[in-house]
Structure 1
Amino acid sequence: MLSKERKATVVELCQKLIRQRSYSGEEQGVVQVLQENMKAMGFDEVTVDRYGNIIGCIKGKRPGKKLLFDGHIDTVPVTNAAEWQHPPFEAEIHDGKIYGRGTSDMKGAVAAMTCAAANFANDTNKDFAGEIYVAGVVHEECFEGVAAREISKLVQPDYVVIGEASQLNLKIGQRGRAEIVIETFGIPCHSANPKKGVNAVYKMAKVIEAIHTLVPPHHPVLGDGILELTDIKSSPYPGASVVPEYCRATYDRRLLVGETKESVLAPIQQLLGQLMAQDPELKVTVSYAVGVEKCHTGNEIEGKRFFPGWLYEENSDFVQSVFSQLKEMGYNPSITQYNFCTNGSHYAGEAGIKTFGLGPSKENLAHTVDEHIEIDQLTKVTDCYYGVMQALLK
């Protein structure tokens, strides 16, 4: 377990990170704090890439595997600070908990990763096999895994630890997600003479009804590949006596392992083709939403909203190595899956890198009013990350 001094260090770093408001695209304050602390803690290299991700590296004296700890440093916004019992950017401590936006999701984990890496390097005098990387990742709340592509290109890790909340349990998979856009195109006219046009919303209504009959696939471990309507917009809006010429509906599709961009759209495309054959007036397309965001570096980050699912076997060597080490240290983790999407969509889902999740705090505290992290969880996960290094950098 951590010494009193090391517990104080990780708590202090977590508080510093919380006090830097870091909505997506505004992570520069957190990057600066991490940069200063990583350098002071003896990291060998600290770099910031074009998207604004910060990557700290500690090199062992002997060649070996590259171990990457991934934690995003952006947060969702606070909609109304007055609703909070404790200020969302003050990192106040009450009843053994640090309060603030990003405590659980996921600056606590980032602080723990940073401190654990420094602790391990100090205790071993860097006489270990391999390299340790700690990445503070931007724009995860906008699109999971897009900024992470830049990190894996630079680091080329052998193992990745996702620090999303897991209550110190090991997570070996997750469903992915895709945002699917359906568009119908009509003909505008005055709403006093609707027969002179084609109402794109009426056409969309029929399309939505038909899509509702599609049965998404099922996975025995990850569950259903849900396909759910999340929003619908028409144009022009407001209509002001105009029959809408355009309508756009967005669907959230939860992705299972092995699904591709092509395989997910195929049943929808087939259905739309049948509908258009039946109705000559229907013009409808399907595609993936594309996100474009401005980074704190001034560069733009862009990505198609398709984030694959992934799953490793419980008996995988790397999973069992970490599991055994944590058990030896007195922890009792269960091995399960995340219920939400993470940067693992890139590392495991796209790049095929051995990946698992291990983080402090509860999953359901993310994005909530009075978000907090228990100091006990924060210090224990710092110890667990140390154990991961012992297990994987032999």
Structure 2
Amino acid sequence: MRTITKKPEVLAPAGTLEKLKTAFVYGADAVYIGGNQYGLRSRAGNFSYDEMREGVAFANQYNGKVYVAANMVTHEGDAEGAGDFFKTLRDIGIHAVIVSDPALIEICAMEAPGLPIHLSTQASATNYETLNFWKEEGLERVVLAREVGMDEIKEIRQNTDVEIEAFIHGAMCISYSGRCTLSNHMSNRDANRGGCSQSCRWKYDLFEMPQPEQHNSLLEGDPVEAFSMSAVDMTMIRHIPDLVENGVDSLKIEGRMKSIHYVSTVSNVYRQAIDAYCADPDNYEFKQEWEDELWKVAQRELATGFYYGMPTENEQLFGERRKIPAYNFIGQVLDYDEESQIATIQQRNNFGVGDEVEFYGPGFTHLYQKIESLWDAEGNPIERAPRAMMTVKMKVDAPVKALDMMRKLK
């Protein structure tokens, strides 16, 4: 009989305060966010100090943790003010910082003692000797490089007691541990200082250029995407037992720039799978509905990355894409009146009378129904809710709760 000694942490992305709160409501144990400095997502909704304080207070209600990514590669002058930044995070109550640059690690350790440091995946940790080195430097957790396989994780776990964090869902970078310079060359935006323009996601062709101003495609017809440097996304939903049994302490979901639809759905699914396995590992069964749910927010095809061998051409995006269901996130429940069975909805995308919709909520609850009638905030009947963020009311077939989400098939 197998016994789970430690349930792994579900670590969700939170690009904004709204996403942070959504992640915890939908089952995350921890979130990672960015501050206004030293991170790799300059276009994400990075947090001010006041927002961090609010986020930490909200996390504490769920016994959750908030980590701050400060994982940029510093050039001369980039580290100025880092000591004060880390001290402020410590005093706010941030539970750890995620860092890759040794200079920032040293500054944090010297200037903000007591603030735990986690090594970022950008540092390319791929073996237990590396983890033990960083343990000697005072780090308590290492985010493994995404190129590490499951057999390697097993060996790492057997040879170190450093906490292991590993990505289990989301976008994959085409470059080793995300250390890419395509964006620098093609758009003059430094990927390792927060400005990646995702050049690997662009569409490419093969051209003949007899003259500098001429661009003649050498491919016949109009290919969907003949050449690619873009990997499919990762999902490990079918392999939770391997991750738990091989000692991964934190299961990390990628996507600080994704929507609350994505954050809620993915957090919800992995919460269900991890709880189910840890509650009864001997009788655990994978549920196809978990994977089906993930496809509702999938942007690309899905695979297991490097966990079970080297990715092949089947893990790259080019040519005809596999058809997948595409759902629109259309609303969030603000309130529900039991007596009248009326739900108050904040609109997030156009919907109206006659639409078939799905409500889902924490704990993997689902409700499917057709919208029979709709009212605006003043109680006037309307046919559609076309304005962004407008408040509407509708009768629902079964109880829903505040913060439940609403979506429909495109």
Q: TM-score, normalised by structure 1?
A: 0.23
Ranked by relative contact order (alpha carbons within 8 Å, sequence separation 6 or more), the top structure is: 1
Q: TM-score, normalised by structure 2?
A: 0.23
